[in-house]
Structure formats: C-alpha cells, structure tokens
Amino acid sequence: MAKKKVKKRKEIKRKLLHKYRLVILNESTFEEKISFKLSRLNVFVTGSLFMIGLIGLTTLLIAFTPLREYIPGYSSTRLKKEATELTYKTDSLIRTLNYTNKYLDNIRMVLKGDIENTVVNRDSLFQQYKLDPASVDLSPIKEDSLLRAEVALEDKYNLFERTIDKKNLVLFTPVTGSISMGFNPNEKHYAVDVTAVTDSPVKAVANGTVIFSE
C-alpha cells in the first residue's frame, strides 16, 4: 500500500511538471508564429492568480464606484441624501408642531381663565439697574492726575503743528513790516526777523502760548 501511494504521488508530480509546448501556426503556410513552453502546474498557478486578480478588481469596482448601486441590497447615494434631508425636515416639523401645540395650550388656558392676569410694575423692572450718582466716586485717581499733568506739560511747549480743522482757519499776517533777516540754520538763526513801527501789535494766527520774547 505504501509503495502504491508513493508511486501515485510520483505519477501526479510527473504529470504536473511535465512540459508541453503551445504553438500557434499560420494555417496557410504552417509557419510558427508564437510558441509557449507550459506545464500543468504553470497553467494552474497562472489561472489561479488571474482569477484572484479578477475577483479583487471586481470587488474594488463594486466597493468604490457607483456600480454597487445596481447590486440588490445596496442603496444609492441619492437615496441616502434624500433620506438625510427628510430626517432633518421631519425634526424641524416635529419641533414646530410642539411649539404650536404649546402655544395653543396657552391660549386655551387663557380663554378658560386658568391663568390670572398679573400686573407688572415697569419701574420696578428698571429699579435694579438705576445708578445713584452720589454713590459713585468721581474724583481722579493718582495715576490719572499724573497723566493729565504730563500731557499738559508736553502740550505747553509743543512746537509742532497740531491736528486742527483747517476748514475754518483764516490766515493773516501777524505783523506788517519788512523782513530784516530770514530763517538761516547755518548761522543758527531759527526765526524770521520783521521790522515794524514801534508798539505795533503782533497778532497770533491761533491760540497758543508765548515761549520767548526779545
């Protein structure tokens, strides 16, 4: 029995590994076009791999393409979207229906006289938000006083042009006379000298503070 089994195995192995040649000939000239060296084992392995690849490709096409909608039991994307929208609309309608029923119940209770009409004093509602000025300390704090003094000191000797409304500004000559010496930074003369009659009034263009007079 053991010898028969071994012999049978060898016969099966021989058949699987036995080489065959597949030849494609021209029918008219019997010219050999293509030839393949095959065995039963190679054909079986190649066919199995081909079937596995075909099954995998089919699975991918069904799983990731709209083709799955044609398979019984699968729902389409459009149906899922419509179902989701209907769910949202249903929730909104239920919420609106609950509000309406509650509103009608309140009206029904009012018509039956189950609710007493309470008078609300309007002044009492705003009483808690009223503020007594006497209870508020309006005196400036130390930091505020120091800041005010610092700003006033800076503005007192500020020689730069201030931001003013120039629409209502009227320009005129401060004093009438002839210029004896103009502005000359090279000679450290940072002013314009104007000669005028003694005791002539000198007018200012805008409000300010005299910081130097000679």
pLDDT tens per residue, range 87-141: 999 999 999 999 999 999 888 888 887 766 566 666 666 666 666 767 767 777 8
When mean pLDDT is compared across 63-67, 74-78, 203-207, the lowest value belongs to: 74-78
Residue 67 carries which DSSP code? G
The whole-number pLDDT of residue 133 equals 67
92 secondary structure, DSSP code: H
Q: How would you label 146-183 residue by residue, b for 16+ Cβ within 10 Å and e otherwise?
A: eeeeeeeeeeeeeeeeeeeeeeeeeeeeeeeeeeeeee
Pairing label, strands 178-181, 193-195: antiparallel
Percent of the chain with pLDDT over 70: 78
DSSP bridge partners of 179? 194
Residue-level pLDDT at 34: 85
pLDDT over 60 at 59, yes or no: yes
- The percent of the chain in helix, strand and coil, each rounded to the nearest 5, is 50, 10, 35
Q: Residue 180's closest CA among 195, 190, 199?
A: 195
Residue 53 confidence (pLDDT):
94
What are the structure tokens assigned to 42, written together? 């190679």
User: Greater confidence, 139 or 46?
Assistant: 46
- The two counts, helices (H) then strands (E), for the chain are 5, 4
Instruction: Give the DSSP letter string of 134-173.
Output: GGS--SPPHHHHHHHHHHHHHHHT--SPP---GGG-----
Q: Residue 54 has what pLDDT?
A: 94
27-31, 49-53, 190-194, range with the lowest pLDDT: 27-31
Neighbours of 77 (CB within 10 A): 10
Average pLDDT over residues 49-53: 94
Instruction: Quick: pLDDT tens for 155-182.
Output: 766 655 555 555 666 677 788 888 888 8
pLDDT of residue 120: 60
Mean residue pLDDT of the chain comes to 79
Contact 162, 208 (CB under 8 A): no
Q: Is the overall model pTM greater than 0.75, yes or no? A: no
CA dist., res. 197 & res. 176, Å (int): 9
Residue 103 to residue 209: CA distance in whole angstroms? 73
